């Protein structure tokens, strides 16, 4: 929209909300570290005001056809080529240009010359030659790209058998981080935001939803129309189409799901969503997106949840684990402020979205559920961070908050727990510095107000923090020895300090005492019998199981005792609990509980539960069993997941060892997904060679 300036990244990596003289002419832009986009060389030369998608979905051939209209303004004179990000799975038919208001021959939308060049394994470069009359500074023009796209990294077609209802096919898109270049040509960087509209034509009986603030449906034409009135980066444009129905659950919220999932989803969320939104608004200011809807997707959804604005995408598998559902939805709500309203300008600083959203999520749960609950959940996640740290060693560059990409690195491969939890610890430290959590809340409100609808770098946040608290600036907190802001951002290793979580002791204390009892030689059955797991919360139980898992291998006697004590009881609990017990079973080769693993893998077909178990099974002695279960269940797995599991099953020699290998930032390793946070469980079809085993990090934020 006109009142919002597109941020411009200058050579010093500072994002300017208003283009400055230092950026004009592109001096130094070659030094900007936007190595993940082909359009880096020239996105700053144009302002993207708006774009429109006109699409037809063809389920029979799994194809999206249509066109895109980009409304652009040339900012710099003399630029004759428009470079956009695209993908080999997107086939361009033609590109036209129009300059509104110009009469005569120039108004007849001439076809333009274009060329698609290779860029990386996750995208290509679309170079469009612009006519001379177009590229006058500050003149608006429209580029229309007619194209067809199939099943690139952003687009997930599900045959009917892969949906929950198993009656109709479904398609959804997943743009984060750099996948949407296979959905539509774009400046595929979070530094560029624009409004968008869309027209989507579908067969009868199909409902379409998009991450848009307004929508309309013409039943007669079977056409859905969408409008996102607020500027968003390309990765937050999302679409889902299938047999979807809704129930209103609040004044601005509805739950969408396949009919067979809807009742359960509504009953699990009830009136909580409006309550969480109200708490968030009290803390961080008005919710700017208008609607907050949630759509539950089939188990093939490759991640847990995605913060698409106005419409959170979340996997239906999480419904049975109530506390995880609660945390995941609150986390996505928090992104409404942190990540979506104010966005990290580069993927090298993803903590600006995830660290702040995790902090905000915990402020919301503290207000809504108390400090003890929030501290318990934080202890559980920080345990996972330290597990990841042990795996990676202290000097791995992925543990930096400001990572440095080299060309060819897929930003999607760098989602990890440091982004979330080390980022959270840094934000908590800033909060401590100002001495009062409420004062820090007011700083965050001001930060949102100052930067909403723009993209920022860490320096923007830190400069604003020091301006907001001048007394802290005067006392040079940014240079405090050992806790320098620069060290927080650029040092490898664990957080420089962690928040005080002693308020969670009432909940974490019993967990640790029970762990200690099981660690004593021999375990004392009477003392152990005093602890009743069924009276515990899910987070207490998963913390207990994770700590047992950390102590594996356990003796066969202890495993026998554990199984007698807990196995049947845990089998009645939710999937987040069960997968952890089953991982203990696998890592200790405890055969009596093997049937439970088979039952679990027959029931659960999502990536977040299958991949960790198959990795464990295949790196131990149960590979034949894993292959047998895989052949029995593969027809119900998405082809991308099937390929991942086949790689785990049949390339074990190249697989991660129990200690895992370390992804490198220094060289392109396109086949290396990273340790994987909950709402970013990896790219669409991540090969497993050279990865860190998901089992070691499957408890992330």
- Judge whether 335 is annotated as a binding position: yes
Minimal distance in Å, beta carbon 305 to Zn ion? 8
CA distance 336 to 329: 11
Q: Count H helices and E strands in the chain, helices first.
A: 21, 23
Task: Tell me the two tokens of residue 511.
Answer: 């967990």
Peptide bond into 177 cis (omega under 30): yes
Site residues for Zn ion, window 391-410 (CB under 5 A)? Answer: none
CA distance 474 to 655: 52
Site residues for Zn ion, window 661-690 (CB under 5 A)? Answer: 679
- The smaller minimum CB distance to Zn ion, of residues 197 and 361, is found at 361
How many Cβ atoms sit within 10 Å of the Cβ of residue 412?
Answer: 23
Minimal distance in Å, beta carbon 359 to Zn ion? 11
- The smaller minimum CB distance to Zn ion, of residues 357 and 699, is found at 357
Minimal distance in Å, beta carbon 330 to Zn ion? 11
- The smaller minimum CB distance to Zn ion, of residues 308 and 541, is found at 308
675 exposed, middle or buried (CB, 10 Å; 0-12, 13-18, 19+)?
A: buried
Minimal distance in Å, beta carbon 310 to Zn ion? 16
- The smaller minimum CB distance to Zn ion, of residues 606 and 669, is found at 606
Nearest to 125 by CA among 39, 32, 31: 39
Task: Tell me the two tokens of residue 618.
Answer: 């295949």
Minimal distance in Å, beta carbon 227 to Zn ion? 25
**Contact residues for 184 (Cβ-Cβ < 8 A; gap 6+):** 51, 53, 68, 90, 145, 147, 149, 234, 237
> Which residue out of 196, 292, 420, 609 is catalytically annotated?
420
Task: Tell me the two tokens of residue 44.
Answer: 């700053």
User: Could you give phi then psi for residue 69, rounded to 5 degrees?
Assistant: -115, 120
User: How does DSSP assign 84-106, residue by residue?
Assistant: EEE-TTEEEEEEEEE-TT--GGG
Nearest to 110 by CA among 81, 82, 131, 86: 131
Cα dihedral 74/80/84/89 (nearest 10) = 150
Task: Tell me the two tokens of residue 317.
Answer: 């598998």
Active site residue 332: yes
- The smaller minimum CB distance to Zn ion, of residues 13 and 176, is found at 176
Minimal distance in Å, beta carbon 354 to Zn ion? 5
Buried b (16+ CB within 10 A) or exposed e, 49-61: bbbbbbbebebee
How many CA atoms lie less than 13 Å away from 588 in the CB half-sphere? Answer: 24
How many CA atoms lie less than 13 Å away from 452 in the CB half-sphere? Answer: 17
> Which residue out of 332, 348, 421, 498 is catalytically annotated?
332
Buried b (16+ CB within 10 A) or exposed e, 13-34: bbbbbebeeebeebeebeebbb
| 215 and 190 Cβ atoms separated by less than 8 Å | no
DSSP 137: T
In the chain the first and final C-alpha atoms are separated, in Å, by 33
Nearest to 59 by CA among 178, 176, 146, 155: 155
- The smaller minimum CB distance to Zn ion, of residues 38 and 341, is found at 341
Minimal distance in Å, beta carbon 558 to Zn ion? 37
Minimal distance in Å, beta carbon 307 to Zn ion? 6
- The smaller minimum CB distance to Zn ion, of residues 258 and 354, is found at 354
- The smaller minimum CB distance to Zn ion, of residues 144 and 308, is found at 308
Active site residue 471: no
Site residues for Zn ion, window 335-364 (CB under 5 A)? Answer: 354, 357
Strands 170-173 and 90-98: unpaired
In the chain, the largest separation of any two C-alpha atoms, in whole Å, equals: 92
Site residues for Zn ion, window 584-623 (CB under 5 A)? Answer: none
- The smaller minimum CB distance to Zn ion, of residues 337 and 485, is found at 337
Minimal distance in Å, beta carbon 653 to Zn ion? 35
| Number of residues binding to Zn ion, judged by CB under 5 A | 3
Q: State the residues that interact with Zn ion by CB under 5 A.
A: 354, 357, 679
Task: Report, as residue numbers or ranges, the catalytic residues.
Answer: 332, 420
Binding-site residue numbers for Zn(2+) are: 331, 335, 354
Binding-site residue numbers are: 331, 335, 354
């Amino acid at each position: 929209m006109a009142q919002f300036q597109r941020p411009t990244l200058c050579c010093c990596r500072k994002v300017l909300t208003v283009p400055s003289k230092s950026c004009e002419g592109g001096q130094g832009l070659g030094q900007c570290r936007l190595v993940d986009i082909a359009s880096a060389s020239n996105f700053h030369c144009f302002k993207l005001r708006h774009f429109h998608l006109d699409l037809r979905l063809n389920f029979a051939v799994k194809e999206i056809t249509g066109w895109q209209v980009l409304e652009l303004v040339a900012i710099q004179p003399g630029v004759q080529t428009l470079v956009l990000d695209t993908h080999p799975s997107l086939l361009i038919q033609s590109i036209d240009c129009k300059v509104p208001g110009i009469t005569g021959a120039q108004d007849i939308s001439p076809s333009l010359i274009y060329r698609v060049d290779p860029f990386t394994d996750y995208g290509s470069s679309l170079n469009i030659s612009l006519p001379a009359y177009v590229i006058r500074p500050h003149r608006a023009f429209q580029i229309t790209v007619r194209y067809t796209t199939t099943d690139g990294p952003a687009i997930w077609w599900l045959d009917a058998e892969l949906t929950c209802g198993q009656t109709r096919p479904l398609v959804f898109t997943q743009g984060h981080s750099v996948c949407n270049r296979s959905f539509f040509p774009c400046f595929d960087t979070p530094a560029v935001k624009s409004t968008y509209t869309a027209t989507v034509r579908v067969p009868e009986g199909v409902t379409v939803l998009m991450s848009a603030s307004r929508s309309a449906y013409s039943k007669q034409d079977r056409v859905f129309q969408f409008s996102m009135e607020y500027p968003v980066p390309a990765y937050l444009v999302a679409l889902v189409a299938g047999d979807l129905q809704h129930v209103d659950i609040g004044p601005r919220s509805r739950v969408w799901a396949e009919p067979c999932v809807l009742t359960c989803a509504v009953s699990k969320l009830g009136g909580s969503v409006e309550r969480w939104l109200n708490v968030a608004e009290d803390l961080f200011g008005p919710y700017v997106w208008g609607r907050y809807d949630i759509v539950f997707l089939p188990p093939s959804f490759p991640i847990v949840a995605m913060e698409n604005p106005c419409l959170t995408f979340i996997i239906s598998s999480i419904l049975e684990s109530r506390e995880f559902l609660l945390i995941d939805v609150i986390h996505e709500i928090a992104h409404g402020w942190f990540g979506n309203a104010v966005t990290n300008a580069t993927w090298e600083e993803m903590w600006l979205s995830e660290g702040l959203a995790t902090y905000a999520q915990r402020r919301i749960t503290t207000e809504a559920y108390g400090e003890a609950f929030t501290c318990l959940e934080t202890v559980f996640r920080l345990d996972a961070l330290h597990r990841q740290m042990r795996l990676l060693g202290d000097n791995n560059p992925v543990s930096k908050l400001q990572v440095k990409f080299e060309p060819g690195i897929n930003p999607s491969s760098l989602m990890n727990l440091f982004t979330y939890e080390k980022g959270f610890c840094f934000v908590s430290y800033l909060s401590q510095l100002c001495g009062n959590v409420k004062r820090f809340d007011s700083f965050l409100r001001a930060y949102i107000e100052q930067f909403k609808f723009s993209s920022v770098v860490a320096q923007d946040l830190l400069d604003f923090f020091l301006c907001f608290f001048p007394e802290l600036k005067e006392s040079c907190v940014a240079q405090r020895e050992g806790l320098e802001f620069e060290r927080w951002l650029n040092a490898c290793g664990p957080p420089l300090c962690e928040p005080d979580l002693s308020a969670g002791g009432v909940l974490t204390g019993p967990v640790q005492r029970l762990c200690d009892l099981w660690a004593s030689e021999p375990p004392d059955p009477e003392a152990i019998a005093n602890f009743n797991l069924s009276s515990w919360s899910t987070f207490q139980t998963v913390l207990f199981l994770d700590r047992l898992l950390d102590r594996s291998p356990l003796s066969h006697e202890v495993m026998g005792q554990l199984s007698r004590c807990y196995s049947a009881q845990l089998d009645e609990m939710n999937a987040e609990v069960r997968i952890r017990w089953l991982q203990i079973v696998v890592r200790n080769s405890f055969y009596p509980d093997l049937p439970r693993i088979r039952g679990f893998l027959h029931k659960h077909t999502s990536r977040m539960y299958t991949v960790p178990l198959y990795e464990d099974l295949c790196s131990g002695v149960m590979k034949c069993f894993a292959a047998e279960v895989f052949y029995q269940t593969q027809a119900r797995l998405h082809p991308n997941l099937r390929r991942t599991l086949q790689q785990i099953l049949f390339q074990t020699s190249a697989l991660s060892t129990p200690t895992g290998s370390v992804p490198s930032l220094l060289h392109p390793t396109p086949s290396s997904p990273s340790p994987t946070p909950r709402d970013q469980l990896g790219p669409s079809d991540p090969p497993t060679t050279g990865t860190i085993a998901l089992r070691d990090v499957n408890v992330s934020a």
